[in-house]
Homo-oligomer: A and B are copies of this chain.
Amino acid sequence: MPGEVTPLESASRRARRLAREEVIGAIVEAGRRQLATEGAAALSLRAVARELGMVSSAVYRYVASRDELLTLLIVRAYDSLGEAAEKAEARVARDDLSGRFATIAHAVRRWALRNPHEYALIFGSPVPGYAAPTTTIGPAARVPVLLVAVLTELTADRVSQGQARRVVPDEAVDLAVRRALAPVRAAVPEHVPDELFLRGLMAWTYLLGAISAELFGHRHNVIAESPGARDAFHTAEMARIAAFVGIR
């Protein structure tokens, strides 16, 4: 009846709910493992069911469709990446802004190298016919939020020392470009100059470009294959990007 108080959950209902959540967790885990070995295109509910020893139709008790499983996996991937970056960044001294930036970049790359198919799922070519629901927006923003924090503090820092004009790039940003950035500008403190924000966004673009190039094979025959060489190159490229943004 409308207006009625929802009754307290009984102990057994609660137990059922917990069991249910556990099974959903197992399904997502199985999907993740499938992703890791076969890639997103090969992901199938039937294979997930097989891995869990269920009959394929049983999975539908927990997940409405293949697309819904895909969404769960995407959210999980963003969260896993976000957590990795946040944890790494939290260990750096707060006033070491360039250390924080380098650590975020490094953590993102390390996560990508360890979870290449999950990386491809969220940053590779879109899965045809799949449209991400809004549920993914929050988790997707976790790393960008860390970067914006660095930019914000970078500016606060410089401003308080009265040297903003010299250290932070401060070219004029076209009106057209300022308009292009309008959607996201609201999420960034006003005292961060347009040019700095633009460059921060470019740094994020660069980081994903570099990782994609490495992971998707576009650095074959270009950069030596040994992990040492790749690490060295990554450190060098990100150092230059940090300087480009004005993070010191």
Contacts and interface: CB of A to CB of B under 8 A. Distances in A.
A180 B174 CA distance: 38
A218 interface: yes
Contacts of A183: 221-224
Interface stretch (A61-69, A154-162, A199-207): A199-207
Nearest to A42: B128
A173 interface: yes
A208 B209 contact: yes
Interface stretch (A7-15, A48-56, A229-237): A229-237
Please tell me how many copies of the chain the complex holds: 2
Interface in A8-34: none
B217 A126 contact: yes
Interface in A80-118: none
A139 interface: no
Given A126-B217, A209-B209, A244-B244, A179 B229 contact: yes
B42 A232 contact: no
A224 B244 CA distance: 24
A230 B180 contact: yes
Contacts of A1: none
A120 interface: yes
Interface residues of A, number: 53
A41 interface: yes
Nearest to A185: B222
A198 interface: yes
A210 interface: yes
A103 B210 CA distance: 22
A128 B244 contact: no
Contacts of A217: 126, 132
15 contacts: A38-B128, A123-B216, A124-B216, A125-B125, A126-B216, A174-B236, A180-B230, A181-B222, A181-B223, A183-B221, A198-B240, A202-B206, A205-B209, A208-B209, A209-B209
Interface pairs A-B: 10 shortest CB-CB = A209-B209, A124-B125, A180-B229, A176-B232, A39-B128, A120-B125, A180-B233, A41-B41, A177-B236, A184-B222
